[in-house]
Structure 1
Amino acid sequence: MADDVRLRRAQDGDFASIVALTNKAYRETGPGQSWSVEDLIEGPRLTDETLREDLAAAPDAQLMIWRDGADEHLGHVWLEPQGDGAWFLGLLAVRPDLQDRKLGRRLLAAAEAHAQAEGATRIAITVLAQRETLVAWYERRGYRRTGVTKPWPYHESRLGAPTRSDLYFVVLERAI
């Protein structure tokens, strides 16, 4: 499944489309919205500034982009080694208008294969606990809840403005 997905490290020229696709996939509501849109948070999920800050703060992270043969941006994912074979996977986004082609599961499989080739033995992700459908999607792909939770960063606005006061992340993990 991952064989047809060609990932490459994102370059500066990719950042605008990464920001645009992230915001479309994570936050845009209305006709054609992603089934996994974060309707619990308002405002942009990512800006050029926050993307650059995140990359500067995590020099070992790999922001990987998937483009098709026509150079269309299909999706992207953040991969970051955490030590002892553990890698963090985040910012997974695919074009909402093409989700019926199973792009998300294909990108996830390719990201896992890439991390494994780099030495990963397990992948950890964080998902908002209130997004039960998305948590279930990852569980169907072999991810399991670790019992660890992380609070939503209410003290900062870089991820958007939550519309609820009870948000938190669950940590899921999968051996690869």
Structure 2
Amino acid sequence: MSISKATVTDTEELTALVNSAYRGETSKLGWTSESHLLDGQRVDDLMLLSYLQDENISILKYVDNQSRITGCVYLEIKGDKLYLGMLTVSPLEQGQGIGKKLLAAAEEYGQILGLTAIIITVITTRDELLAWYERHGYQKTGEIRPLPNDERFGIAKQHIDLFVMEKPIL
């Protein structure tokens, strides 16, 4: 099992993984599902491919001992901070520490780049997810943003706001 930087050849597998964890019936097997809040896809191949071709964006992938990608995390350099998003673990593999390992790898990546902090956005009504990030050192900044109105990320079933959270990189 290892964590490494994803490449364009991983596009289809990453797209399937992310959508399975956030949307649809499979997502309901894990605790990260957003299907009760959003319809549609979380990401598509074109969007993911554009991420993988952007020099300011990296996607780290977690590969299991059967060479399957079972986790990933999106990282984007924004000034002196690292934006972390799309932290994904297969619903069938959740609860085994993969998310924690990806979070630690993201922090190490930020340290290597000399960045000052990691920022994330979390749906304000996702209490269990907010608590998970708080246990890992992230704190609310006081900033609240609306969910982007872009069907490429999903179709909101209700109004959704996002807390901005931050953790210093030590």
Fold conserved between structures, TM > 0.5: yes
TM-score, with structure 1 as normaliser: 0.87
**Contact 2:141/2:164 (CA < 8 Å) preserved in 1?**
yes
Give the letter for the 2:164 counterpart: V
CA RMSD of aligned residues (A): 1.8
The TM-score, its normalising length taken from structure 2, stands at 0.90
Deviation at 1:68, TM superposition (A): 2.7
Counterpart of 1:51, as a letter, is L
* Distance change >3 Å, CA 47–CA 29, structure 1 → 2: same
SS state at 1:29 partner = helix
Aligned partner of 1:91: which letter? M
* C-alpha distance in 1 between matches for 2:18 and 2:137: 24
1:43 aligns with 2:36: no
User: Equivalent residue for 1:125?
Assistant: 120
Preserved CA contact (<8 Å) 1:32 1:97:
no
In 2, Cα distance between the equivalents of 1:135 and 1:31?
Answer: 18
Match of 1:64 among 48, 60, 64: 60
Opposite residue 110 of structure 1, the aligned amino acid is: A
Are 2:119 and 2:165, in contact at CA under 8 Å, matched by a contact in 1? yes
Structure 2 portions without partners, runs of 5+: none
Counterparts of 2:12 and 2:27, CA distance in 1: 23
Residue number in structure 2 paired with 1:83: 79
Residues 136 and 80 of structure 1, relative CA distance in 2, 3 Å threshold: same
* Partner residue, 1:113: 108
Kindly tell me the number of residue pairs found equivalent between the two proteins. Answer: 168
Gaps of 5+ in 1: none
Residue in structure 2 matching 1:34, options 8, 30, 36: 30
Native 8 Å contact 1:22 1:91 kept in 2:
yes
Residue-by-residue CA offset, 1:43-86 (whole Å, 9 max, x unaligned): 11011022234445x431111112134312121111111122x1
Alignment of 1:25 with 2:21, yes or no, is yes
